[in-house]
């Protein structure tokens, strides 16, 4: 064979199916078809992925890993049959850990040339994607008030109507507490709020501060069921408007308030209890001392703090995936419960109780995905198919993460002990745990 013939053979076009088969020697657990007419994987597979456009291939090649896959999927360039886009749980759960890529540098270069070097020019990202961290840094320091407000707007000011379809009547976007696996989502959310209230020892006449209050679920539950006066704060303008309307609608306006504000703008103090449900994920580990110190200053002696947040199963640093950082929780940070407890203790709180509810969050996500599937057409009409796809992918993937103990959900109860050491708690807990 002449040198020219060898060069021609090396540079011949490679189909998508051939390339995928080459880098996955252990085979595909799914069927892949592509716009160039090629295919790979078992023809009888329950799930089929179809790479519909050259742009989709460019997404995959220019952002290997979850970011490229997400870009192609959100735009519709990567299509999936056999699962609903509102709940691709079976796809994620079935494929996770089964795809093992093996390719030498020389083979990678050959395949890239064969597929076409024009695919190495990154296409514009989908509109649902947030700026990369280096670009965000140009707009303010991480966890500054400006960047925190922008990150919250990106995720929570999507559409109250969309959230009503996905979250259901409780409008609660945090882990529920299931008394049994087949309990309804509404029953489980009410049980969660009740558990928080009992851990905080709420009684009529007490004052509660709920930071990162969302649509005011904890505020309204505590006022309605426990007779307290409650203040909630959220950085989301849409959440605050919805919550305040619900407060007025339920006739709770004389004892409940939700403000559109940064928690750091709360000037009142002397609260009997503070609940932080799903906010710590947005705070940033370096900000924990200031955060928990601020909450401690809002409490009276003997007052209680209940911190409820997603955590890692390790206290070592783990980088957030590109998909989550760009599409779901910009600037979000997760760490182990040990780091959170340490930060709370180092401020001067006394930790009285801790528990992990990760299985409950998997069930919560199961039910949110079910709602998204049942209301798919309405959700797409409200926010567009790309955004709806982001939510299905993120929630189903998170469910798998909780089931596999890659992420957890911890509640930590702490007390601001008075100078005489009196924690003002009973000898045994009164919440049945």
CA-based torsion, 258, 264, 267, 273: positive or negative: positive
What pLDDT is stored for residue 102 in this prediction? 72
Structure pTM?
A: 0.89
Residue 311 lies inside a defined structural domain of this protein:
yes
Q: Are strands 229-234 and 256-260 parallel, antiparallel or unpaired?
A: parallel
For residue 62, the enclosing domain spans 3-118
Query: Coil, strand, or helix at residue 208?
Result: strand
CA-based torsion, 229, 234, 237, 242: positive or negative: negative
Query: Coil, strand, or helix at residue 35?
Result: coil
Residue 300 lies inside a defined structural domain of this protein:
yes
Residue 279 lies inside a defined structural domain of this protein:
yes
Residue 126 lies inside a defined structural domain of this protein:
no
* Same domain flag for 41 and 175: no
Q: Tens-digit pLDDT profile for the chain (433 aa)? A: 454 444 444 557 899 999 988 887 777 888 999 999 999 999 998 889 999 999 999 999 998 778 898 999 999 999 999 899 999 999 888 777 666 667 788 888 898 999 999 999 999 999 888 877 645 555 555 555 555 545 444 445 578 999 999 999 999 999 999 999 999 999 999 999 999 999 999 999 999 999 999 999 999 999 999 999 999 999 999 999 999 999 999 999 999 999 999 999 999 999 999 999 999 999 989 999 999 999 999 999 999 999 999 999 999 988 777 888 888 877 778 999 999 999 999 999 999 999 999 999 999 999 999 999 999 999 999 999 999 999 999 999 999 999 999 999 999 999 999 999 999 999 998 887 5
Q: 319-348 burial, b if ≥16 CB within 10 A, otherwise e? A: ebbbbbbbbbbbbbbbbbbebbbebbeebe
Residue 128 lies inside a defined structural domain of this protein:
no
What pLDDT is stored for residue 397 in this prediction? 93
* Same domain flag for 106 and 156: no
* Same domain flag for 221 and 114: no
Query: How many other C-beta atoms are found inside a 10 Å radius of the C-beta of residue 403?
Result: 18
* Same domain flag for 49 and 192: no
Residue 427 lies inside a defined structural domain of this protein:
no
Residue 420 lies inside a defined structural domain of this protein:
no
Q: How many domains does the chain have?
A: 2
**Distance, CA of 13 to CA of 292 (rounded, Å):** 59
What pLDDT is stored for residue 123 in this prediction? 94
* Same domain flag for 324 and 394: yes
* Same domain flag for 161 and 78: no
* Same domain flag for 21 and 164: no
**Distance, CA of 158 to CA of 340 (rounded, Å):** 29
CATH of the domain at 333: 3.40.50.150
Cα atoms in the Cβ-side hemisphere of radius 13 Å centred on 384 = 10
Give Cβ neighbours of residue 359 (< 8 Å, ≥ 6 apart): 402, 403
Query: Which residue reads 């020389």 in tokens?
Result: 106
Residue 269 lies inside a defined structural domain of this protein:
yes
């Amino acid at each position: 064979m002449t040198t020219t013939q060898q060069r021609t053979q090396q540079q011949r076009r490679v189909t998508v199916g051939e390339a995928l088969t080459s880098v996955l020697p252990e085979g595909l657990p799914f069927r892949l078809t592509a716009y160039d007419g090629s295919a790979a994987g078992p023809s009888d597979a329950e799930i089929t992925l179809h790479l519909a456009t050259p742009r989709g291939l460019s997404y995959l090649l220019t952002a290997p890993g979850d970011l490229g896959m997400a870009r192609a999927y959100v735009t519709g360039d990567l299509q999936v049959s056999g699962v609903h886009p509102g709940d691709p749980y079976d796809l994620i759960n079935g494929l996770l850990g089964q795809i093992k890529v093996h390719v030498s540098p020389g083979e990678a270069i050959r395949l890239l040339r064969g597929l076409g070097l024009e695919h190495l020019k990154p296409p514009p990202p989908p509109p649902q994607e947030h700026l990369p961290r280096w670009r965000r840094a140009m707009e303010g320091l991480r966890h500054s008030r400006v960047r925190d407000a922008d990150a919250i707007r990106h995720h929570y000011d999507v559409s109250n109507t969309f959230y009503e379809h996905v979250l259901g009547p409780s409008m609660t976007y945090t882990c529920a507490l299931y008394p049994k696996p087949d309990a309804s989502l509404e029953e489980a959310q009410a049980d969660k709020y009740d558990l928080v209230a009992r851990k905080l020892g709420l009684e009529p006449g007490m004052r509660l501060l709920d930071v990162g209050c969302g649509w005011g679920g904890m505020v309204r539950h505590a006022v309605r069921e426990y007779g307290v006066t409650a203040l909630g704060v959220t950085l989301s303008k849409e959440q605050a408007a919805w919550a305040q309307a619900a407060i007025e609608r339920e006739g709770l306006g004389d004892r409940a308030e939700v403000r559109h504000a940064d928690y750091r703008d709360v000037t009142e103090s002397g609260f009997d209890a503070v609940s932080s449900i799903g906010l710590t994920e947005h705070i940033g580990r370096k900000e924990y001392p200031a955060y928990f110190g601020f909450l401690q200053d809002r409490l009276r002696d003997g007052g209680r703090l209940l911190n409820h947040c997603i955590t890692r199963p390790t206290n070592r640093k783990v980088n957030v995936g590109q998909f989550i950082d760009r599409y779901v929780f910009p600037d979000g940070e997760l760490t182990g419960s040990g780091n959170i407890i340490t930060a709370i203790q180092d401020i001067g709180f006394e930790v009285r109780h801790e528990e992990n509810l990760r299985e409950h969050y998997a069930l919560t996500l199961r039910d949110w995905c079910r709602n998204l599937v049942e209301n798919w057409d309405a959700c797409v009409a409200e926010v567009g198919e790309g955004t709806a796809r982001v939510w299905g992918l993120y929630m189903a993937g998170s469910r798998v993460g909780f089931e596999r103990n890659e992420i957890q959900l911890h509640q930590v109860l702490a007390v601001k002990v008075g100078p005489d050491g009196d924690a003002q708690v009973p000898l045994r807990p009164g919440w049945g745990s």
